[in-house]
Amino acid sequence: MAAALLHDGLQSARGGTIVEALSYALEAAQPAVKEGFTVREERWGGDLAAGQPLPIPHQLFKGNDYWFWMGTDSKGATISVHIYDKNGKLVEDEFWQKGQKAAAKIRPKRTGTYYLLVEVEKSTEERTVWSLAYGFR
């Protein structure tokens, strides 16, 4: 499935939704919000099979700091989000993964299109619902 702007009707086989996954992503954002990051309204979500990463192109601007937060409501799933430049080079400044949440941070050295690679690394579900939010300062 291709990434899409948040569609809260998508459900997993066990009943989880993108809105529930988004709540984990926004929970992961709270420390950055306390540091002055503004959470944007644009969000992505969908469902993925484990081991099938999905690239999401996104315009980033030199001089800003960005955090991308990913969440899932699927307990036991391992998820990740990483940031690559147009040449496929990993360019994030920081990454973490804790339980049902993951995040990556970048301060781009130049304005341009970057690729957010979201992945369900492992899951007991055939397809795992996820959501991605971001913020900047």
pTM: 0.89
31-84 pLDDT tens trace: 999 999 999 999 999 999 999 999 999 999 999 999 999 999 999 999 999 999
* Residue 30's CATH number: 2.60.120.380
Domain range holding 37? 18-136
* Cα→Cα distances 90→6, 81, 95, 111, Å: 26, 11, 11, 16
- Would residue 1 count as lying in a domain? no
- Would residue 37 count as lying in a domain? yes
Question: How far apart (Å, rounded) are the C-alpha atoms in residues 39 and 30?
Answer: 10
88-121 pLDDT tens trace: 999 999 999 998 999 999 999 999 999 999 999 9
Question: How far apart (Å, rounded) are the C-alpha atoms in residues 45 and 8?
Answer: 9
- Would residue 68 count as lying in a domain? yes
**Domain count along the chain:** 1
Amino acid identity, position 11: Q
Token reading at 107: 């301060």
- Would residue 8 count as lying in a domain? no
- Would residue 87 count as lying in a domain? yes
- Would residue 77 count as lying in a domain? yes
Question: How far apart (Å, rounded) are the C-alpha atoms in residues 67 and 69?
Answer: 6
